[in-house]
Chains A and B, each alone.
Chain A
Amino acid sequence: MKDPAQVIHDTTYRLLKMAATILPKDVEDALRAAHEREEDPTAKTQFSAILKNIEIAKDGIPMCQDTGIMIYYVRVGSDFPFIDEIKDAIIKATRKATEEIPLRPNAVNPIVGGNSGDNTGVKIPWFNWEIIDGDSLEITAFPKGGGSENVSIVGMLKPGVGLKGVKKLVVDNAMSYMGKACAPNIIGVGIGGGADIAIKIAKQQLQRPLDDAHSEPEVAEIEREIFEAINETGIGPMGLGGKTTVLGVKVDYAMRHPASLPVGVAVQCWAARRSAAVISKDLEVTYLTHPLEGN
């Protein structure tokens, strides 16, 4: 019998290693396509550097020195037998990954100062728990860089401004931070709910594959319009000019209060690191974004 805590720990360790060093295939493909498309010499140079960098990183070196603050999305089947083991195993794996990959210690106490040194501390890693049907466990490691997080916003709009106002908020935000969030970016937008719900939905959108569109045509249209508007800016990779400012815009929504139109805008840098795996009740592991060789 395998030790469930060990399996969860080892799986999380590999997720962090993969996330830090190898981009999901959809992101790498989008960067390669953008490199082909650009004609501006500066933009080409930026993409060449990015592509060279991701090749070097594949040897096991974090692609970006900002290896992010530790966030996990954990979807637990209500019949998964080892629920008690999950949190502790993931925290231990985070510490081990920090030391051995290595990752940059990024957990700082905002009240008394000081860096914990191991990427764990008060409420960090942050767990987004979700209970789902079934008997398996899905873990997504989503280490999030600070530069792009710093330009994420929540706007509490007046409902009267409508969807035009929503789109304007996202586009105006992009024009204010220019290349500072390590463009080309991926933008997640959450509309409705409340301030916390909107930004939560926005951030969840960053996990969608780049080539998918929202299942509702009205929402897919908003995604397309914002995408085209931001790429029209000419901000380009790193804000140094070019055709590619965003690789994707992903929108979703919740019902809103009659008096509120909350909009969350989550901004992701090109180093869109995420890695996911499913652990069955028999402790069989299937890696989703970074399959084991031979699978």
Chain B
Amino acid sequence: MAEYHFTTPISEEDARKLKVGDVIYVTGEHVYTARDEAHERALEMFEKGEKPPVDFEGSVVYHVGPVAWQKDGKWQIVSAGPTTSARMEIFEDEFLKKYKARVIIGKGGMGERTLAALKEVGAVYCSFTGGCGALAAKGLKEVRAYEWSDLGMPEALWVITAEEFGPLLVTMDSHGNSLHAEMDELVQSRKDKIYSKIGIKN
């Protein structure tokens, strides 16, 4: 379990160093928010041969719908904890292959398609503690742009400068390991003991 402090853009080599259990902190300008609709739009643009407003290669893509407000004409992130990543499972493998983001952040983990894409592309999935919106906002220092604002505040593509954003726990790596899959197995293996507490023989 190592700790790393990365500055974006993150190289494939750095991403491939990471293993499940490592903790990373991220600093830099290639930090973007994206939920269902932003993923969908990015993929559509790729199909049409259009260029998205940001460069995703080497970036950090955060599954979050922030609370933000405008102060003195400038947008600020107020609270920004992760949303459930499973919803993005239908987009993430294609997104990773097409745009080569290196760190995906969210909560709850993702499935086999994403795990395979992390391996192919050289990227990791990190968990940030769900509900910790105020803590996350401390690391998301500056909003540089509010792109795709027509999607609404939660679904838009927020372009952020991060400073020591973390702790981000690597829970899926590029070596085919997933803490989420391990947890599923652990719980299944305990089923007899769990059911015995409610008087059920498995």
Alpha-carbon distance between A102 and B70 when the two chains are bound, in angstroms: 11
Is the pair B200, A62 in contact by a Cβ cutoff of 8 Å?
no
Contact B198 A63 (CB under 8 A): no
B153 at the interface (CB under 8 A from A): yes
Q: How large is the interface on B (under 10, 10 to 19, 20 to 34, 35 or more residues)?
A: 35 or more
Contacts A53-B129, A240-B171: A235 and B187 contacting too (C-beta < 8 A)? yes
Q: Which of B75-83, B92-100, B117-125 contacts A (4 or more CB under 8 A)?
A: B75-83
- 17 pairs, CB–CB < 8 Å, chain A vs chain B: A45-B167, A49-B132, A64-B79, A105-B152, A106-B154, A115-B154, A147-B130, A168-B195, A171-B194, A178-B183, A225-B198, A226-B198, A235-B183, A238-B108, A240-B179, A241-B179, A271-B131
A164 interfacial by beta-carbon distance below 8 Å: yes
> Is B184 an interface position by the 8 A CB rule?
yes
Chain B stretch 43-76: residues in CB contact (< 8 A) with chain A: 64-67, 69
B187 in contact with A233 (CB, 8 Å): yes
Q: Which residues on A sit within 8 Å (CB–CB) of B64?
A: 65
- Supposing A63-B131, A102-B78 touch, asked if A239 and B193 sit within 8 A by C-beta, the answer is no
Identify 18 new A-B residue pairs, CB closer than 8 A, beyond the known A52-B135, A104-B65, A229-B194.
A42-B169, A45-B169, A49-B135, A53-B132, A53-B134, A57-B133, A62-B67, A62-B78, A63-B133, A67-B67, A104-B154, A167-B198, A225-B199, A232-B194, A232-B197, A234-B183, A235-B183, A269-B130
The reply on A103 being an interface residue by CB < 8 A is yes
Whether A164 touches B78, Cβ cut-off 8 Å, given contacts A63-B131, A233-B190, A269-B130, is: no
Residues of chain A at interface, number, CB under 8 A: 53
A118 to chain B, nearest CB (A): 12
Q: How far is the CB of A172 from chain B (nearest CB, A)?
A: 9
CB <8 Å contact, A178 and B184: yes
Q: Which residues of the partner chain A approach B1 to less than 8 Å between Cβ atoms?
A: 41
Contact residues in A for B144 (Cβ distance below 8 Å): none
Q: Which residues of B contact A106 (CB under 8 A)?
A: 154
Residue of A nearest to B107 (CB): A238
CA distance A164 to B180 in the complex (A): 29
A157 to B138 Cα, complex, angstroms: 47
A180-B108 CB under 8 A given contacts A62-B134, A104-B65, A234-B187:
yes
